[in-house]
Chains A and B, each alone.
Chain A
Amino acid sequence: MITIKMKKDFSIMAPQNVSRLLGGLLFMMATPSLAQTPPPNNAVVVGGSAPALCWSAPGANWTQNGTSAGNFSAGTGFAGGATVVVPQNQLVDSDKRAALTFGSLGAVRMRFAVTCNSPVEAKLSAQYGRLQNTSAPSLPPGMPANRTATTSATFENYYPYQIEYGFVNTLTGATPPSASQKVNGTTGYSNPQNGATADGLPPNWSPVSSGGSWFNIKRVDVRIDLDPPPVVSGSTLRPVMIAGSYSDRLTLTLTPSL
C-alpha cells in the first residue's frame, strides 16, 4: 500500500513538481545569466541649444568707411542706423538742375561690425530704392519729367542709386567670394529706375549669405553710389530737380541661414 500510494502521489504531483522544478531551474539558470548582463545603469543626457545669434560690441554704431560723400552721422547701435546728408549744392546747380554726373559725387560707404555664431544672410531693403523727394513724391502738374518728355524744361523728383553690400571678415580681412554682391544696376547707368522698380515700388534686393560654414566675426559693408537722374535719350539737358528733401531709408536685416 505504501508503494502504491507513493506512485499515485508521484503521478499526481509530477506535473506540478516538474513545473516547479523547471521554474526553479529556469530561475537558477537565469541567475548566472543576470550576472553576465550589463550592470544596471542610468544614462543621463545633458544638453541644450545655442540659438543662432548676431550681436555687436557694446556701443557699436554704424561707421563711415573711408571717404564718404555727404555728411555722415550715425545713430546709436545697429538699429540706430546712419544718415548721410548730401549738401544741396552738390545735388543741384545754380539753375536747380541736377548737378550730379557720373562719379562726381562718389559713393556713400558705411559699415557695421557684427558677430554671428552661425551662417547668416544679410538683406537690405529700401523704402523707395532711390533718393526720393519726399516733399514732392509725385511730379506736380505742368512739370513734365524727363522720363516722359523731351522738352527742355523737364523736371525730376528723385535721384537713383546703385547699391552694393556684403560681408567682410574683420579677423582675416578677407572677403569671401560669395559674400559680396553688387545688387542692381551692375551693368551701368542706363536703367532709369536703377534701384526702384519700374513702377517706383521698393526694390527686392537679393540677400547676401555669409557662407554656409563660415564662422567668424564679420563686418557688414554697404556702399551706395548716387547716380545722376536719367537723361532722355538723345538729350544732354539735365532735369531740374524739384525743391524738397531727397532721402531714402535702408533697412539691414540679418537672418540665420541654418
Chain B
Amino acid sequence: MNAFTIIGWACGLVTLLVSTGIQAQEAIPNTVSQLRVGGSAPGVCRIASPTTLSSDNAVFDTRSVNSGQVTITQLANPVNGIARASQISLSFAAVCNVAHSMTIRSLSGGVTRAEGPVAGAFSDRIDYDVEARWAGASVSRRYTGASGVLVIPVADGAAGTLELSLQTIGGGSPLASGRYFEEVIVELAAAS
C-alpha cells in the first residue's frame, strides 16, 4: 500500500464520517414532541334551592343549600281538631348534562305524627298528594301511608325548572295532638 492509497482511504473515511455526521444532525427536526391537551366532562346534575310558586296554609323556608322546610300553618282546625288542607308549589332550578332520572321519594308515606301512632278515634297521619314536573313530563301520586318513589326517566340532558307540588288532604278523623312530619327528597341522578 503506497502513501497515496493510505491518504485516499483516510480522505474517504473522513468524507464518510462527515457525511454521516451531517446526516445525524439533519434528523433532529424530524423528532416531534407532541403535547396533548384534553379532559372529560362528567355527567352531572345540579339542583338549586327552591322558591315558592304558590301556597295556601303553608310556608317554605330554606334550611340549607339542599334542604328546606314546609311548615303547615294551621295543621288542624282549632275548633274540632280535623286536618285542614294545605298546598304549596315549589320551583327548583335544575340541570343535567346527560341522560338522567328525576326521583321523588317519600320517607313516611304521609305527614306522620312524630310522637308515634295512636289508637282509637283520632288520626295520626295526614295523607298528601305529590305532583312533579320535569323535562316536559309529570308524575303524581297520593301517599296514604305507604312510602314509595316517583320517577321520571329522561333520555337526554335537560335544564330548566323542576316543579314540585305538595297538597295535604283535609278532613277525616280529628288529629291527635302532636308534631307531624314527612320528608320528601327530590333527586336528579345522572345515568351511569
A residues sitting closer than 8 Å to B (CB atoms) are 24, 27-28, 31-32, 34-35, 39-53, 55, 115, 117-118, 171, 215-217, 256, 258
Q: Is B80 an interface residue (CB 8 A)?
A: yes
Q: How far apart are the CA atoms of A216 and B121 in the complex, in Å?
A: 6
In the bound complex, residues from chain B placing their C-beta under 8 Å from that of A32 are 42
Interface size on B, residues (CB 8 A): 61
Q: Please name all residues of chain B whose beta carbon is closer than 8 Å to the beta carbon of A43 when the two chains form the complex.
A: 66-68, 183-186
| Residue with the highest number of chain B CB atoms closer than 10 Å, among A28, A31, A44, A49 | A44
Q: Which residues of A contact B72 (CB under 8 A)?
A: 46-48
Of all chain A residues, the one with the shortest Cβ separation from B186 is A42
**CA A217 to CA B122, docked complex, whole Å:** 9
Residues of A within 8 A of B50 (CB): 42, 44
- For A40, what are the chain B residues with a Cβ–Cβ distance below 8 Å? 45-47, 66, 187-188
Kindly identify which residue among B66, B70, B71 contacts A41, using a CB–CB cutoff of 8 Å: B66
Task: Known A-B contacts: A28-B40, A50-B179, A53-B174. Give 20 more (CB < 8 A).
Answer: A39-B45, A40-B46, A41-B66, A42-B66, A43-B184, A44-B184, A45-B67, A45-B182, A47-B71, A47-B179, A47-B182, A48-B75, A50-B76, A55-B79, A117-B174, A117-B176, A117-B177, A215-B118, A215-B121, A256-B177
- Tell which of B63, B180, B185 touches A50, judged by Cβ atoms closer than 8 Å: B180
- B73 in the interface (beta carbon within 8 A): yes
CA distance A98 to B166 in the complex (A): 70
Encoded as 1 (CB less than 8 Å from any A CB) or 0, chain B from 45 to 80 comes to 111011000000000100100111111111110111
Q: When chains A and B are docked, how far (Å) is the Cα of A39 from the Cα of B73? A: 31
Cβ contact within 8 Å between A51 and B67 = no
Residue of A nearest to B181 (CB): A47
19 contacts between A and B (CB under 8 A): A27-B39, A39-B187, A40-B45, A40-B188, A42-B49, A43-B68, A43-B185, A44-B67, A44-B70, A45-B63, A45-B181, A47-B72, A47-B111, A49-B179, A50-B76, A50-B175, A115-B121, A215-B122, A216-B120
